[in-house]
């Protein structure tokens, strides 16, 4: 397994062979070269539809634009997006009915707590509780181990009984695994990644954007998507 850390994202390449990650000088050179190459390339389009049924979402289902996030609760760049970009996205687009925001899980193999955090959040009983757990897990990212993912989820409203039953049932784990398989099929390997395009109900295609870019830059991409789809 090789993990490449770029500005604003973590990219996983190769096969997972252990639980740790070491960034060598060679890896740093490689990710710098890859970053320059990505900026020079035409942005990738996701043309094989993503399936959205059952994935957590917020905003009007009939919003003209949908943004699908592939994220990892232990990824520092995903937290940066959560802290610095999502609040403005909600205020300026989601709450105004212009954007539907959908979350998909991409827990990276070298993040010890990421998969359990994703499964735990999926054990929410409704959408409102899910997003409360989502927020709590990112807010406590640096202490997922010391506080315990279950305790964080309990504080967010997922009772121990609900969590235990959910994990035994296996549906949440299956949903996370399905997201992982989908990301592999689409060649999405970096967290965070976003697919921005017109809303299509339970399916989605659009432009793939990798990395936690600053809000002004992210806003430009949304406005361009709105213009391309002639949304007023």
pLDDT, one tens digit per residue, over 135-158 is 999 999 999 999 999 999 999 999
Look at the block and give the residue holding tokens 């943004």: 67
- State the CATH number of the domain containing residue 165: 3.40.30.10
- In sequence order, what DSSP letters do the residues of the chain get, joined into one string? -EEEEETTEEEEES---SS-----HHHHHHHHHHHHHHHHSPPPEEEEEEE-TTS-EES-TT-SEEEEEEE-TT-HHHHHHHHHTHHHHIIIIITTTSEEEEEEE---TT-TTHHHHHHHHTT-SSHHHHHHHHHHHHHTGGGHHHH-HHHHHHHTT--HHHHHHHHHH-HHHHHHHHHHHHHHHHT--EESEEEEEE-BTTEEEEEEEES---HHHHHHHHHHHHHHTT--
pTM above 0.85, yes or no: no
Instruction: Evaluate whether residue 37 is within a structural domain.
Output: no
23-62 pLDDT, tens digit each = 444 544 444 444 444 444 456 899 999 999 999 999 999 9
d(CA 194, CA 188): 9
Domains held by the chain: number: 1
pLDDT in tens, 64-83: 999 999 999 999 999 999 99
Counting residues of the chain whose pLDDT is more than 90, the rounded percentage is 78
Q: What domain range is 118 assigned to? A: 43-228
For residue 80, the tally of other CB atoms under 10 A from its CB is 19
The 3-class secondary structure across 27-83, one letter per residue, is HHHHHHHHHHHHHHCCCCEEEEEEECCCCCEECCCCCCEEEEEEECCCCHHHHHHHH
Q: What is the pLDDT of residue 25?
A: 47
Report the pLDDT value the prediction gives residue 152, as an integer from 0 to 100.
Answer: 96
| Residue 105 forms part of a structural domain | yes
- Is the pLDDT at 203 greater than 60? The verdict is yes
Domain presence at residue 162: yes
> Residue 14 domain-assigned?
no
pLDDT range class, residue 114, cuts 50, 70, 90: very high
Does a structural domain hold residue 176? yes
**pLDDT by residue (tens digit) across 26-37?**
544 444 444 444
**Is residue 164, in this structure, part of any structural domain at all?**
yes
Residue 10, in any domain of the structure: no
Q: Could you tell me which residues come within 8 angstroms of residue 108 by beta carbon, excluding any fewer than 6 positions away? A: 3, 10, 12, 72, 74, 75, 114, 191
For the record, the structure tokens of 166 come out as: 């959910």
Q: Is residue 76 part of a domain?
A: yes
Share of the chain above pLDDT 70, in %: 80
Q: Are 61 and 101 in contact (CB under 8 A)?
A: no
For residues 109-125, average pLDDT: 96
């Amino acid at each position: 397994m090789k993990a490449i850390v770029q500005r604003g994202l973590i990219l996983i390449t190769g096969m997972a062979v252990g639980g740790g990650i070491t960034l060598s000088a060679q890896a740093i050179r490689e990710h710098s070269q890859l970053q320059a190459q990505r900026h020079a390339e035409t942005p990738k389009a996701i043309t094989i539809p993503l399936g959205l049924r059952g994935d957590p979402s917020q905003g009007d289902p009939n919003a003209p634009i949908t943004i699908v996030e592939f994220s990892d609760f232990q990824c520092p760049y995903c937290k940066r997006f959560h802290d610095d970009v999502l609040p403005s996205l909600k205020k300026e687009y989601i709450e105004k009915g212009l954007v539907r925001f959908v979350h998909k899980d991409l827990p990276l193999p070298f993040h010890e707590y990421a998969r359990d955090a994703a499964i735990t959040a999926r054990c929410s009983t409704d959408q409102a509780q899910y997003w409360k757990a989502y927020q709590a897990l990112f807010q406590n990212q640096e202490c997922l181990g010391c506080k315990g993912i279950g305790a964080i989820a309990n504080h967010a409203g997922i009772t121990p009984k609900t969590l235990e039953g959910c994990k035994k049932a296996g549906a949440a784990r299956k949903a996370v695994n399905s997201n992982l398989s989908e990301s592999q099929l689409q060649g999405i390997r970096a967290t965070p990644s976003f697919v921005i395009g017109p809303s299509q109900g339970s399916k989605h295609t659009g432009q793939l954007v990798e990395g936690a870019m600053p809000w002004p830059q992210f806003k430009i991409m949304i406005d361009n998507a709105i213009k391309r789809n002639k949304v007023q």
